[in-house]
Chains A and B, each alone.
Chain A
Amino acid sequence: MRGRIEEMRERFIEPLLSRSPRLLPTKPDAAARYALYSAIAWFVLWMLMAAVVAIKLVFPKLLHQFPWMSYGRLRPAETNILMWGVLFNGAMGAAFAIIPRVCGVKLWSERIAAQLVMFVDTIVLAGTLLLLVGRTEGIEGFEWPWPVAIALTLAMLGVLQVLMFTVLRRTEKELNPPAKFLLAAFHVLPITFATASFGSLFVFGERQVLYSGFGHAGGLLGMSLIGAGTALFVIPRATGRPIWSLRMSNVALWMMMLTFPWLGLIERVLGPLPDWVETLGISMAIASIVPALFLFTLVVNTVRGGLRDDPSVPFMTGATLIWGVAIVLNAVGSLRHPAGVLGTTWWNDAVRSAFLGAFGLWLVGLMYHLIPRIRGRALRSPALVRTHFWVGAIGVTVATLASAIAGLIQGYVLNAGAALHADVASGAGWSRVWFSIRPMLGIRVVAGGMIFAGVVLLLINVQRTLSDGSEIEIETIGARRSAEVERVGSPV
């Protein structure tokens, strides 16, 4: 198998790519670097768009004269930029850097991987522009027109191919936990994305909701696996301690795989889906708390007693905690009685904010850990990293709390209105709901500002690290392998 993979690369792919050697470098970690820098660039654009969306909720007249800046077009555009431009690029960067390291071999093809990063960037740009001019499939989370969705599926399959061929060339027989989590994620993402994107085009009504829910749950599972894999890679290296329990990491992985794909069923509890479908979804939402507890236990016990000088560790532990809180919020909101109050309210946004905040913190922690090592420059300011952590973590927490409180207020105003036979749920009466939650929406804008300030600190620190950070040894893939296995622990 390994020989056949090498032969395929030598005969068909390298001759094609070698025609433009300057365009795509073959240096180790080139693709990971491209992906991480792309993620940062999309992060800045996303923050600007998200700021406009958040401000529009408080001041609806802002930029109202431009159709492409209307709330209804901007919101899906910024959500897709976050998911694919920021998080998927970050996921590619994580996988292209982590899998070669834990497998002890170079990436199968840096050039193909780098081309895939550029392809994804092109897809995100095209999808965003199409959404802004009003070309949408209209399905929540899968708004990009189908040709864009096909291109993205192909890109994901390309990434999977690069990762699989890298893993199959490894010298270690077993797979380390970070490789398992990342490899599983890059199987989950294309399968669930393609099923939801294309399946929902051929069905109608509430059946579409089942397909898109499966896709949302797949996205959540994929990103959670990547976050967990990143934490289990960074923490042992940064603290000098092996993963606390490899068996527990395996159980957490499979518990996530068994429970998360069902979470799409709880998106519309008390809605038009059959009761038994909702009950299944609610049961799985409660069960999904178990892997969250396992992962948090694993992370805390691995960090405990280890070295504390690496500033990326707080990002990993903080992200895991916020991710666990998001799972609990999700499960609580899915129960039928709370759903009667919280369903369709801003509570949904609180769950999304916590999940996305956790994914963002995991990604930023990885950047602070990896960029100095792959560029051979020591971090210019660890103190600035710590400031970034607190600003970012507090920003995510405040945004989540503000949305959760807005959800509670919205739910109780609507229920009180119904009890008093006052029409607050429709038409002019809605303004009572709107006025009651408006202060929370203002607080969300402030929280968004804190997250943006954190991104600015990241940009400043990375720029200063690359320009005048003191030189350190560039981490060579393969040479570190024995140390890697020692730190991560013997694979199960």
Chain B
Amino acid sequence: MSGDVRNRARGSLPVASLIGGTVIVLVLTFLLAVVLPVTDKAQSAMGTPRAYSRLQLSGRKLYVREGCMSCHTQMVRDAASDASLGPAMSLPNDYANEAPNLIGLDRVGPDLTCVGGRLSDRSAIIAHLAHPDHVHAGSGMPRYAYLSDQELNAIAAYLQALRCKEGQS
């Protein structure tokens, strides 16, 4: 190997080791932190997926469009503060039919995992969506009065579908 070629090979070594190391670390992390849990069949068999009617599905789409998951989670955690939210903590298979998932990260507003069990009157839900401050004085929720009656009805139908049975969140 001539001196020039050897020098060039030495020059590219730090770049190759940096890039190679970066890619290897990311691939291994992806395999262990994403692929392995995704293929954990014992875990993903736990829970009960929900089924939705056409109206409820259109309500779900509106829920996504309006970004409701920015403020509301759909996840009962294994924590004391979540005890009143549902009969049991949420399980992986509860979300098997959910795309996009609406699990959420932050609770600016209350959790909605089992909200359907608490809300039986659809017109009351629609009134709350359109003017939350009229229903609960000082509510921090924004008004959705700009949505049409059909859209409000669809979202209310979706929210009513969020029910939990005993032994399931």
| Chains A and B form a bound pair | yes
**A interface residues with partner B (beta carbon < 8 Å):** 1-2, 56-57, 60-61, 64-67, 70-73, 75-76, 134, 136-140, 164, 167-168, 170, 173-175, 180, 183-184, 187-188, 191-192, 195, 199-200, 203-211, 213-214, 218, 254, 257-258, 261-262, 264-265, 267-268, 270-274, 277, 280-281, 339-341, 343-346, 348-349, 410-411, 414-415, 417-419, 423, 425-428, 430-431, 434-435, 438, 491
Contacting residues, chain B, for A210 (C-beta < 8 A): 33-34, 37-38
**Chain B hits for A264, CB < 8 A:** 33
Instruction: Assess whether A206 is in contact with B101, with CB atoms less than 8 Å apart.
Output: yes
Please name all residues of chain A whose beta carbon is closer than 8 Å to the beta carbon of B104 when the two chains form the complex.
Answer: 140, 344
| Contacting residues, chain B, for A134 (C-beta < 8 A) | 65-66
Q: In the complex, are the beta carbons of A71 and B70 less than 8 A apart?
A: yes
Which of these, A187, A208, A267, A430, contacts B101 with CB under 8 Å? Answer: A208
Sampled A-B contacts (19; CB under 8 Å): A60-B140, A67-B146, A71-B70, A71-B71, A72-B142, A170-B11, A175-B18, A187-B19, A188-B26, A205-B92, A208-B99, A208-B101, A257-B25, A258-B25, A272-B75, A340-B79, A341-B79, A425-B82, A430-B110
- CA separation between A206 and B44, bound complex, in Å? 9
CA distance A430 to B132 in the complex (A): 13
Determine whether the beta carbon of B138 is less than 8 Å from that of A435.
yes
The main secondary structure of chain A at its interface with chain B is helix
CB contact under 8 A between A191 and B138, given known A140-B69, A208-B101, A430-B109 = no
**A218–B108 CA distance with the chains assembled, in angstroms:** 25
Q: B73 an interface residue at 8 Å Cβ cutoff? A: yes
Interface residues on B, range: 35 or more
CB-based contact A204/B91 at 8 Å = no
A184 CB to closest chain B CB (Å) equals 5
Partner among B81, B93, B106 whose Cβ is within 8 Å of the Cβ of A348: B106
Q: Smallest Cβ distance from B1 to chain A, in angstroms?
A: 15
Contact among B10, B80, B92, B108 with A418 in the assembled complex (CB-CB below 8 Å): B80
Chain B min CB distance to A414 (Å) = 4
Q: Is the CB of B80 within 8 A of A415?
A: yes
Chain B 93-129 interface 0/1 with A at a Cβ cutoff of 8 Å (1 = within) = 1111111111111111111000100100000000000
Number of A-B residue pairs at CB separation under 8 A: 247
Binding site for A on B (CB under 8 A): 7-8, 10-12, 14-15, 18-19, 21-23, 25-26, 29-30, 32-34, 37-38, 40, 43-44, 47, 64-71, 73, 75, 77-85, 89-111, 115, 118, 132-133, 136-146
Cβ–Cβ contact B118 & A427, under 8 A: yes
Query: By the criterion CB–CB under 8 Å, are A214 and B106 in contact?
Result: no
Closest to B169 in A: A272
Q: For the complex, what is the distance from the CA of A191 to the CA of B28, rounded to whole Å? A: 13
Neighbour of A204 across the interface among B96, B106, B107, CB < 8 A: B96
User: CB-CB < 8 A to B73: which residues of A?
Assistant: 344
Taking the nearest CB of chain B, how far is it from the CB of A481, in angstroms?
15
Which residue of the partner chain, among B14, B22, B100, contacts A188 with CB atoms under 8 Å?
Answer: B22
Q: Which has the most chain B C-beta neighbours within 10 Å: A207, A410, A435?
A: A207
- Are B97 and A419 closer than 8 Å at their CB atoms? no
B119 CB to nearest A CB, Å: 8
Residues of B with C-beta under 8 A to A426: 84-85, 110-111, 115, 118
Quote the shortest CB–CB distance from B72 to chain A (angstroms): 10
Which residues of chain B come closer than 8 Å to A348, judged between CB atoms?
105-106
Residue in contact with A423 in the complex, picked from B37, B79, B84, CB distance below 8 Å:
B84
Q: Are A73 and B66 in contact (CB-based, < 8 A)?
A: yes
- Contact partner of A272 (CB less than 8 A), chosen from B29, B40, B95, B102, is B95
A75 → chain B closest CB, angstroms: 5
Task: With both chains docked as a complex, state the minimum distance between the C-beta of A440 and any C-beta of chain B, in angstroms.
Answer: 12
Excluding A61-B143, A140-B69, A184-B18, 12 further A-B contacts by CB distance (< 8 Å) are: A60-B142, A61-B133, A61-B142, A64-B142, A71-B67, A75-B70, A173-B10, A257-B25, A265-B33, A271-B78, A348-B105, A426-B115
Q: Are B115 and A254 neighbours in the complex by a CB distance under 8 Å?
A: no
Q: Across the interface, which residues of A come within 8 angstroms of B47, CB to CB?
A: 272
Report yes or no: B103 in contact with A262, Cβ–Cβ below 8 A.
Answer: no
- B102 / chain A contacts, CB cutoff of 8 Å: 138
A191 to B38, CA, bound (A): 19
Residue of A nearest to B47 (CB): A272
Among candidates B21, B78, B143, residue contacting A64 with C-beta atoms closer than 8 Å:
B143
Give 9 closest A-B pairs by Cβ, nearest first.
A72-B67, A205-B95, A138-B100, A414-B81, A138-B64, A340-B79, A261-B29, A270-B77, A134-B65
- Kindly list chain A residues whose C-beta atoms are within 8 Å of the C-beta of B133: 60-61
Contact B101 A209 (CB under 8 A): yes
Residue of A nearest to B140 (CB): A434
Query: With a CB–CB cut-off of 8 A, which chain B residues contact A70?
Result: 66-67, 142, 144, 146
A261 in contact with B25 (CB, 8 Å): yes
Query: Which A residue's beta carbon lies closest to that of B26?
Result: A191
Instruction: Assess whether B118 is in contact with A261, with CB atoms less than 8 Å apart.
Output: no
Q: From B42, which residue of chain A is reached at the shortest CB distance?
A: A274
The reply to whether A271 and B106 form a contact with Cβ atoms under 8 Å apart is: no
Q: Are the C-beta atoms of B64 and A136 separated by less than 8 Å?
A: yes
Residues of A contacting B7 with CB < 8 Å?
A: 173
CB contacts (< 8 Å) of A183 on chain B: these are 15, 18-19
Would you give the shortest CB distance from B82 to chain A, in whole angstroms?
Answer: 7
For the complex formed, measure the closest distance between the CB of B53 and the CB atoms of chain A, giving whole angstroms. Answer: 19
B71 touches A72 (CB 8 A): yes
Q: Is A205 a contact of B98 with CB atoms below 8 Å?
A: yes
Q: Considering only CB atoms, which chain A residue lies closest to B112 in the complex?
A: A426
Q: Is the CB of B142 within 8 A of A56?
A: yes
Most chain A CB within 10 A, of B18, B32, B71, B132, is at B18
Q: Which residues of B contact A73 (CB under 8 A)?
A: 66-67
Contact status B23-A187, CB under 8 Å: yes
Cross-interface CB contact of B67 among A75, A180, A271, A344, cutoff 8 Å? A75
> How many angstroms between the C-alpha atoms of A443 and B157 in the bound complex?
37
**Inter-subunit contact B95/A204 (CB<8 Å):** yes
Report Cα–Cα, A389/B12, bound state, in Å.
Answer: 39
* B100:A137 contact, CB within 8 angstroms: yes
